[in-house]
Structure 1
Amino acid sequence: MKSTGSTLLGLDIGTTHCKAALFSERGDLLKLAKTKTEVYTDRGWAYFDPERLWTSVVRLIREITEQGGDCTDTTGHPADMRAIAAIGIASMAETGLLVDPNSGRARSPFLPWYSRCAVTQAERIAAESDLAERFAAHGLHPSFKHGLAKLLWLQENDPGALSGSMWLSASDYVAYRLTGRMATDYTLAARTYAFRLDRRDWDRDWVRHFGLEPSLFPEAIPSGSAVGSIHPDAATALGLPAGLPVTIAGHDHVAATLAVGVVNPGQVMDSMGTAETLVGVLPERALTAQDRMSGLAFGIHPAKGRYFWMGGLSASGGAVEWFRSVLSEPALDYERILERLAGFDPAAGPTGILFFPYLTGSGAPRPDGRARAAFVGLTADHGQGDLLRAVLEGTAYELEWIRRTGEQATGAAIRDLIVTGGGTHNPAWLQIKASVSGCPLRQPERPEAALLGAALLAGVACGLYADVDQAAAAAASAGEVRSVQPQPQAHSRYRQLFEEGYVPLQEPLRALYRGVLSGE
Structure 2
Amino acid sequence: MEYYLGIDMGTTNIKAALFTEDGSMAAFSSEPTPVIHPKEGWSEFGPLELWSVLCRCIKKVVWETKGAKIVSAGISSLGESGVLTDAGGYPLNNFIAWYDPRAKEEIEELKRKIGNDRIYSITGQTPSDKYGICKLLWIKKNLSEAYEEASHWLSVEDWILYKLTGNYATDYSIASRTMAFDIVKLQWSEEILDAAGIAAELFPEALPGGTFAGRVTQRASEETGLARGTPVSVGGHDHACAAVAVNIFESGVVLDSMGTAEVSMVAVREPVLNREALGKFYSFYPHCGPKLYRVITSNQSCGAAVEWYLNTLGEEIRSRAIRSGKSEYDWMAGEAEQNARPEDAVYFLPFLRGSVENNQWKGCLWGIDDGHRQGDLIRALIHGICFELKKQIEGYQELFHQRFDKIRVVGGLAKSDFVMKQKSRIQGTDIEVPACVQAACCGAALLGAVGAGKQNIKKLGQFYRFGRRYPAENEEELLKEYQTYLKLREGFKELYNRIGEA
When normalised by structure 1's length, the TM-score is: 0.90
Compared CA separation, residues 442 and 471, structure 1 to 2 (3 A): same
**Residues 84-483 of structure 1 correspond to what in structure 2 (within 5 A)?**
84-100=70-86, 102-163=87-148, 164-285=150-271, 287-329=273-315, 332=318, 335-342=327-334, 344-345=336-337, 352-363=345-356, 367-466=357-456, 468-473=457-462, 475-476=463-464, 479-483=465-469
**Residues 48-63 of structure 1 correspond to what in structure 2 (within 5 A)?**
48-63=45-60
Which range moves more in the overlay, 48-57 or 259-268? Answer: 259-268
Compared CA separation, residues 285 and 40, structure 1 to 2 (3 A): closer
- Deviation of 1:188 after TM superposition, in Å, equals 0.3
- Deviation of 1:487 after TM superposition, in Å, equals 4.0
- Deviation of 1:110 after TM superposition, in Å, equals 1.1
1:510 aligns with 2:493: yes
> What CA deviation, in whole Å up to 9, does each residue of 1:21-50 have, x standing for no partner?
110011100001111111111022111111
Give the structure 1 partner of residue 20 of structure 2.
24
Alpha-carbon RMSD: 2.1
Corresponding pairs, count: 493
Which amino acid in 2 is paired with 1:378?
Answer: I
Q: Structure 2 stretches of 5 or more lacking a match? A: 322-326
CA distance in 1, matches of 2:192, 2:77: 26
Contact 2:82 2:136 in 1 (8 A): no
Compared CA separation, residues 295 and 303, structure 1 to 2 (3 A): same
Which amino acid in 2 is paired with 1:513?
Answer: Y
Contact 1:197 1:299 in 2 (8 A): yes
Contact 1:275 1:313 in 2 (8 A): yes
Q: Structure 1 stretches of 5 or more lacking a match? A: 70-80
Q: SS where residue 141 of structure 2 aligns?
A: helix
Contact 2:335 2:375 in 1 (8 A): no
Give the structure 1 partner of residue 30 of structure 2.
34
Give the helix-richer structure, 1 or 2. Answer: 2
CA distance in 1, matches of 2:104, 2:355: 13
Contact 2:72 2:231 in 1 (8 A): yes
Give the % identical residues. 30
Q: SS where residue 436 of structure 2 aligns?
A: coil
Contact 1:349 1:494 in 2 (8 A): no
Q: SS where residue 241 of structure 2 aligns?
A: helix
Which amino acid in 1 is paired with 2:347?
Answer: L
CA distance in 2, matches of 1:416, 1:357: 23
> What CA deviation, in whole Å up to 9, does each residue of 1:116-164 have, x standing for no partner?
1213322332333332222122111111210011112212221222223
Which amino acid in 2 is paired with 1:108?
Answer: N
CA distance in 2, matches of 1:126, 1:439: 38
CA distance in 2, matches of 1:227, 1:331: 46
Q: SS where residue 398 of structure 1 aligns?
A: helix
> What CA deviation, in whole Å up to 9, does each residue of 1:364-391 have, x standing for no partner?
xxx2111221111111111122112211
Give the structure 1 partner of residue 324 of structure 2.
none
